[in-house]
Amino acid sequence: MLHSSIALIGLIVAVFFLARLTGDPTNLYLPIDANLETRQEFAKLHGFDQPSHVQFVKFVKGIAEGDLGFSIRKQRPAFDIVLEAYPTTLKLAFTTMTLVITFAVTVGALAAYKPRGVFDRVASISSLSTASAPDFWVAITGILIFSVALRWLPTSGMGDGIEYWIMPVTVLMLRPFGLQVQVVRASMLGALSSAYVKTARAKGVRERRVIYVHALRNALLTIVTVAGDQTVGMINGAVIVETVFGWPGIGKLMVDSVIQRDYAIVQAAITITASAIFLLFIIIDLLYVALDPRIRHR
């Protein structure tokens, strides 16, 4: 927890100062022909005339008070804008990870049940291929085939129909699915060859119970670890997927805000995302204890 806290603080510091290396914000928000007096008034109004360390102290105080700044372009608190975008990304991530875990555990367990069999070979080749596929390439290729050529799916946007979800979810889940299948397969191979599984089989326990209760339960620690890392990584994947498909989530908001150099939204989005990741790691640690009570005694 201490290491995560230090990383979170370091990230906040880096984001604040790196954002201000992009140039004078008055050149972005004011017309080119704005006179010096107008620029000075604008800078004073928004605190840009103060030294960077003074602005940083105010920023940190704002975080402590729940104030993450004010978006000049949108004329709204940055915190509210980010929170409005987050549910969309969370829906996309939750749906994707649910499908990833469901299919990966099923495919990986079946592949491990008969190693080097036909199903195992097909699953291994397919999972390695999907794990190596770049998100942006798959997204653009999917649009060219299914939207432009076949006209089966919309190119972008978020509507009420399931057709708007198919390509974003599929693209976002391919790489995590491929990696998770390999992890489940390796973990299950180790579990199925262990002494307790051999004992269960010798006692006449049904094979399905052996696989999905005895073996899978003991393989869950590794699976949960990778799934947690993948959930965090989906924020990075969401930036690409949401931008390509015009999905109005936190990823697209970040990209748009960086292009517009909207400091407040960029800082708020990264701060909230980093805090959410920090909380997620705590939840994963608690899951470890729930899955393996021996951890609490270490």
Token pair, residue 68, equals 């993450």
Q: Indicate the residue among 39, 67, 95 that finishes a domain.
A: 67
Q: Tell me the CATH number at 268.
A: 1.10.3720.10
16 and 162, same domain (yes or no): no
Q: Which of 11-15, 99-103, 266-270, 286-290 has the highest mean pLDDT?
A: 99-103
pTM: predicted TM-score of the whole model, two decimal places = 0.76
Examine residue 73 and state whether it is found in any structural domain, yes or no. Answer: no
* pLDDT tier, 297 (very low <50, low <70, confident <90, very high otherwise): very low
201 and 118, same domain (yes or no): yes
Q: How far apart are CA 230 and CA 225, in angstroms?
A: 9
Asked if 179 and 131 count as a contact pair (C-beta separation under 8 A), the reply is yes
63 and 89, same domain (yes or no): no
* Tens-place pLDDT, residues 71-103: 877 888 888 888 888 888 888 888 888 899 889
Which residues does 140 contact at the CB level (< 8 Å), separation at least 6? 244
The single residue listed with the structure tokens 């997927």 is 241
The mean-pLDDT minimum among 53-57, 101-105, 255-259, 289-293 falls in 289-293
pLDDT at 287: 73
47 and 173, same domain (yes or no): no
Q: Indicate the residue among 38, 67, 96 that finishes a domain.
A: 67
The single residue listed with the structure tokens 């699976």 is 223
57 and 90, same domain (yes or no): no
pLDDT at 254: 83
118 and 218, same domain (yes or no): yes
Examine residue 267 and state whether it is found in any structural domain, yes or no. Answer: yes
Examine residue 75 and state whether it is found in any structural domain, yes or no. Answer: no
pLDDT at 248: 85
Q: How far apart are CA 84 and CA 74, in angstroms?
A: 13
* pLDDT tier, 237 (very low <50, low <70, confident <90, very high otherwise): low
193 and 114, same domain (yes or no): yes
Q: How many domains is the chain built from?
A: 2
159 and 13, same domain (yes or no): no
Q: Indicate the residue among 32, 67, 102 that finishes a domain.
A: 67
123 and 35, same domain (yes or no): no
Mean pLDDT of 227-247: 78
The mean-pLDDT minimum among 121-130, 147-156, 275-284 falls in 275-284
In three state form, how does the secondary structure of 30-71 look? Answer: CCCCCCHHHHHHHHHHHCCCCCHHHHHHHHHHHHHCCCCCEE
Please indicate whether residue 108 or residue 28 has the higher confidence score (pLDDT): 108
132 and 89, same domain (yes or no): yes
Please indicate whether residue 97 or residue 26 has the higher confidence score (pLDDT): 97
Examine residue 255 and state whether it is found in any structural domain, yes or no. Answer: yes
* Tens-place pLDDT, residues 138-182: 888 889 999 889 889 888 877 778 888 889 999 888 888 998 898
259 and 188, same domain (yes or no): yes
Is the per-residue pLDDT at 298 higher than 70?
A: no
Mean pLDDT of 293-297: 55
Burial of 234 (0-12, 13-18, 19+ CB in 10 A): buried
DSSP string for residues in 187-212:
HHHHHHTSHHHHHHHHTT--HHHIII
Mean pLDDT of 39-63: 79
Which residues does 164 contact at the CB level (< 8 Å), separation at least 6? 154, 157, 158
Asked if 26 and 17 count as a contact pair (C-beta separation under 8 A), the reply is no
Please indicate whether residue 53 or residue 8 has the higher confidence score (pLDDT): 53
Examine residue 244 and state whether it is found in any structural domain, yes or no. Answer: yes
The single residue listed with the structure tokens 């991530």 is 93
pLDDT at 14: 80
Examine residue 180 and state whether it is found in any structural domain, yes or no. Answer: yes
Mean pLDDT of 35-48: 78
123 and 239, same domain (yes or no): yes
pLDDT at 292: 62
Examine residue 72 and state whether it is found in any structural domain, yes or no. Answer: no
Examine residue 79 and state whether it is found in any structural domain, yes or no. Answer: no
Which residues does 141 contact at the CB level (< 8 Å), separation at least 6? none
Range of the domain at 47: 2-67
* Tens-place pLDDT, residues 187-218: 888 877 877 777 877 877 787 777 777 777 77
